[in-house]
Structure 1
């Protein structure tokens, strides 16, 4: 047989890494679409709404507004090509405004900044820019919620040991564990959605910090840009970036959860545990050791999940001690950390969705470990309590029985406890992990009724989260359509 040198067949592994994860984790990150284009996309969207409002209020002539709107729309259609390479000694916005003045003349191009500052413009663009990455993260998290619930139902009776202090503790099921993670994840999604509610207020109209004497209509621009209302106070509008801190705080807490789940999956997929097995397209090989199957994607989860925590610390550090007004430290340096934090959190979530969806469960090994670890010991003590033995005495008696079995002085817990008169026969002792799980229907245990209730609650949360996300995205789409119609009405063109 001819040896293969294909990167997808290492001998030990027969398939390549999942294509999505390969692009995400292994391929070089060549420069993507220039960030300045994304910034100009947000700026010009705000400009379209601002000019429409100025024309509707009679602050600028409709003919001048139409020329401005047509020029801005043309720039957007040309992907801002005419701006590329222009000198920007005072920033991108003024380079862009300078182009409009050169093209349209000062009498028209110079109208764009009427009743506005870069301060309220930047604060507004930040909120618009956060919409898509935050919505994408929430969408991926909802998918993770559903994967956890679906796999939780599938493995609802796959008995395994729960661990405390890295030692086998009591019997649960793998499905029970996954549904527990879904419950925790629901709270993290709720926190992100609550933080994202801050995106509904529009800073535009606040000017540099003290509003403007020009009779603008801040509610109209807010409506055209997909906001619910303007920020009522001009100082708060340009000074505050607590929205970023709340998003980062929620993402950082989410990262703690994702990292803990990844740690469990890493441990359980080791040869020593042997409870889970990741498919070949979710593991890597070693360049030197032919036998290796490395679940390295889970290590990426742990690393990526920490990005938001670092971003929160950096952002909060940049903000603290600054005056409560417009500030580069607050508005630029602090907020710059949020983009990578959201991107890394989204990628960590994407990896976990694939891992949990593709992992094979070794149900027999799980149940064997639950029984070999004598995880039924607590349930045995509780049965003795029902028979009239005080719990602390029952605890001692079962502990003694465990020690005798481990020392080889007895064959089973039932044998010891029957000999000591607590049960009529060894077979009366509830020492089977599956039997214990089925009976644990109280206190949120893995029993069938308890588990079904937890699944129902978690599924309701996921449904509610999807509804809130849909409300967000629908309002943004509706605003885009309103803005297009308003621009078309003034320019006399068809809405795009």
Structure 2
């Protein structure tokens, strides 16, 4: 294949291999090669429809492009002597159908609007896959929560025993976080799925192009209207990477808990052996490596987002070559988040929870002390702060007995006799009972089995809605692709 056709007119001199590799974007362009062919087909259809090129030219260009679509982009297109995949494909076509035909495909556009369009096509597909993976994570969490509505466990603040809760309640908290992650990706998708094609270098073109037509052919929901903005902006990528960073922060928090819970001194969960490793020297070890690597991948996604931000923060309008260095961050952030979610689904599905061990810990650390204070408020009319102080001082003494509570009230010089008010050891025992404490917390979103049953039903309804949204968007994109290829085949025929 001949050299980069883009350079032939204006520039002389051969580049060194090192220079070509430095300037080439081929490593990240592999991700958008298929999208580029699709954009080429839509552009040629528009050029023919607008009579910018003749039907005879379109009939020679389209078979070669359709062959690239069905057979794949050949490896020679990705050679570093081409600056990017766009130049590689154009050079390939010129070689295949001759310069008089292949040289007309690029009329009315620039690589600037072309690459922006390709990135958006690839990114919207990846976003939908990521959203679908999130649905599966949420589905697993909901299933586990439904199975563990009665499984009491300790809840923590500051890594200290705080109040008893249920495993269902704990897992539903993560489901809610991942549900919001889904919403952020859904919102980002709306801004990703806008078409910049037709902006050309930045000032549009004098050819009578039809931007709305190519946008529709490619399945976009509208245009990036301002042509300078269309080629210059990458805020859609920043928004996506920001949403992925938040998502991975939530993944990392869950992985951190799984790592802690799987330790021999906690023993709340056992991860399947497939997601663990052993030591090369210590034969007894079972290490939660997959969860640990996911925590590290979070840093990689954060780095991709930060790198992308730093690339664009000082760029003047409109297109600058710096943007080429932003693109690999998009694919790296998306890849690491996608791989992590896929493994998280299976790791959660195969995990087994030791509910007896959780129950054993649920009442430790005076975790039901709040319920005892609430009992003094509800049954004996004490101000909450007074009850809080009495129970807190009793905890300091090391026990929550009637005798200890009485002594604490005297220490605080409150002039209150709890025995005189009618408090009994049986009432204290009932207040401190873990199951009783959890069962009382049935307000919306609480840990009581009654509350989690309602929450699970609501989560399932939202999951169904989100699943339908993904199906609808996938079907729309798939139909657009089928239609544009069918239009091209009809014209050729």
Alignment TM class, shorter chain as reference: 0.7 to 0.9
Q: CA deviation at 1:97?
A: 1.5
Structure 1 contact 88–94 (Cα < 8 Å) conserved: no
Specify the SS of the correspondent of 2:165.
strand
* Matched residue, 1:180: 173
State the distance in 2 between where 1:161 and 1:435 align.
14
* Matched residue, 2:282: 289
* Matched residue, 2:202: 209
* Matched residue, 1:58: 51
* Matched residue, 1:396: 389
Q: CA deviation at 1:82?
A: 7.2
State the distance in 2 between where 1:187 and 1:119 align.
34
Q: Are 1:349 and 2:349 an aligned pair?
A: no
**Candidates 363, 372, 380, aligned match of 1:380:** 372
State the distance in 2 between where 1:35 and 1:398 align.
62
Q: CA, structure 1 residues 395+372, in 2 after alignment: closer, same or farther (shift >3 Å)?
A: same
Q: Are 1:361 and 2:353 an aligned pair?
A: yes
Q: CA deviation at 1:398?
A: 1.3
Q: CA deviation at 1:282?
A: 2.3
Structure 1, unaligned stretches of length 5 or more? 1-32
State the distance in 1 between where 2:403 and 2:156 align.
26
Specify the SS of the correspondent of 1:201.
coil
Q: How does 1:96-495 map to 2 (within 5 A)?
A: 96-330=89-323, 332-386=324-378, 387-404=380-397, 406=398, 413=401, 416-417=404-405, 420-421=418-419, 424-429=423-428, 430-442=431-443, 444-492=445-493
Using structure 1 for the length normalisation, give the TM-score. Answer: 0.87
State the distance in 2 between where 1:260 and 1:364 align.
24
Q: CA deviation at 1:372?
A: 2.3
Q: CA deviation at 1:304?
A: 1.3
Structure 1 contact 308–338 (Cα < 8 Å) conserved: no
Q: CA deviation at 1:397?
A: 1.7
Q: CA, structure 1 residues 304+327, in 2 after alignment: closer, same or farther (shift >3 Å)?
A: same
Structure 2, unaligned stretches of length 5 or more? 1-25, 408-417
Specify the SS of the correspondent of 2:53.
coil
Q: CA deviation at 1:321?
A: 1.0
Between the two proteins, the alignment pairs up a number of residues equal to: 454
State the distance in 1 between where 2:27 and 2:132 align.
25
CA RMSD in angstroms comes to: 2.0
State the distance in 2 between where 1:358 and 1:81 align.
41
Structure 1 contact 202–230 (Cα < 8 Å) conserved: yes
Q: CA, structure 1 residues 486+154, in 2 after alignment: closer, same or farther (shift >3 Å)?
A: same
Q: Deviations over 1:432-452 (max 9, x none)?
A: 111100111126321233222
Using structure 2 for the length normalisation, give the TM-score. Answer: 0.88
Q: CA, structure 1 residues 258+84, in 2 after alignment: closer, same or farther (shift >3 Å)?
A: same
